[in-house]
Amino acid sequence: MKRRAFLSGTAAATLAAPLAAPAIVRAQETFSWKMTNAYGPGSPFYVEGPGSPTDFCAKVEAMSGGRLRIQHFAAGELIPALEGFDAVRTGTVEMNAANAYFWAGRIPAAQYFTTVPFGLNFQGQNAWLYHGGGMALWDELYEPLGLKAFPMGNTGVQMTGWFREPIESIEQFDGLKMRIPGLAGKVYATLGVDVKLLPGGEIFPALERGVIDAAEFVGPYQDRRIGLQNAAKYYYTTGWHEPCNVTELLINKAAWDSLPADLQAIVQAAAMACNLESHTWCEANNAAALKDLVENHGVQANVLPAEVVEALRAATAAALEEIAVSDPAVRKVHDAFMAFKAEHDAWSTISEKPYHNLNG
């Protein structure tokens, strides 16, 4: 009886072994990847600090027990600032951190996955991406190019920007040279703005030398860090152009598919953690930075005149419709985004807005 039980157990183990072994080997497999970045060395939020791409890399390594290690390269350390898209697409690197609207020249619809003028805020954008069909559209857009993307950060609402002269009317935008990326740049262009797309490190010298007349970057903490307060003194807000700003984690699809399911889950979880952590970091630091800019650097922080905002709103609606008409992919993403926004607006009008007004 003992012999029979032993042989039976041995047979069962032998049958099970071929099934279990690949899973065990897969669980022990290690990966060494590279991540490039559109932003320069030392940049808070965009490169270093809580919720940053380097923090993401550290989280993935810790959560995977070292099975997935990602070496991070800031802009210029491996490739130039805005060449990450091609580097990931061709497999030169496995990952890149940037903003999807940088790729507007080749994929106009990608801009909706960074931000939309007069669009969704941090809460709404994440609701659309995670639960409103946004991620599925992002996958549909990128898969033919061999790419996969996740949100990995968000600045929340941004400032309109820095201007050498006070803004009093919409006519002042005609002929203005301004650094402004994304869909907002297309809106400004319809108003006569000479739109410039410059990496973060080039904004201050361009504004200081008068190569541009105005510039938009992020918000008080980040703008102060690169010295924009020393090149212009009129700092405007409404957040109309970027009610949020998503950091894109771009991944080579073949590399992504090579990861076992547990490492894929770790990458997703780490990206989501950084998405939240980066936003809370911005919220925690911008207030003190704005106070410092106003009190110690002579900055005049103002809200754009209402008539200017309404003119920008009208120009935005026209510009977005023009882009959607010209590109079927944009049309699909645009309609889905706006349909979700209409529903979310109805909810936020009776939830967030009254509370905000109560404390305003």
DSSP letters spanning 43-103? -BTTTBSTTSHHHHHHHHHHHTTTSEEEEEE-TTTSS-TT-HHHHHHTTSSSEEEE-GGGG
pLDDT above 90 for 15: no
Model confidence at 359, pLDDT cuts 50, 70, 90, reads confident
Mean pLDDT of 135-158: 98
Give residue 357's pLDDT.
85
Give residue 355's pLDDT.
86
Q: Kindly report whether the global pTM for this prediction surpasses the value 0.85.
A: yes
Model confidence at 1, pLDDT cuts 50, 70, 90, reads very low
Q: Over the stretch 167-200, which tens digit does the pLDDT of each residue have? A: 999 999 999 999 998 899 999 999 999 999 888 8
pLDDT above 60 for 16: no
Model confidence at 269, pLDDT cuts 50, 70, 90, reads very high
pLDDT above 70 for 296: yes
Mean pLDDT of 220-230: 96
Q: Over the stretch 84-109, which tens digit does the pLDDT of each residue have? A: 999 999 999 999 999 999 999 899 99
Mean pLDDT of 58-78: 98
Helix or strand (DSSP H, E) at 10: helix 2-28
Task: Output the CA torsion sign for 351, 354, 358, 360.
Answer: positive
Q: What is the mean pLDDT of the chain?
A: 92
Give residue 26's pLDDT.
57
Give residue 194's pLDDT.
97
Q: Can you tell me the distance from the alpha carbon of 14 to that of 11, in angstroms, rounded to the nearest whole number?
A: 5
Strand blocks (E) in the chain? 31-37, 68-73, 95-98, 147-154, 161-163, 177-179, 194-196, 214-215, 234-237, 246-252, 300-303
Q: Over the stretch 150-165, which tens digit does the pLDDT of each residue have? A: 999 999 999 999 999 9
Burial code (b: 16+ CB inside 10 Å, e: under 16) for 82-108 equals bbbbebbbeebbbbbbbbbbbbbeebb
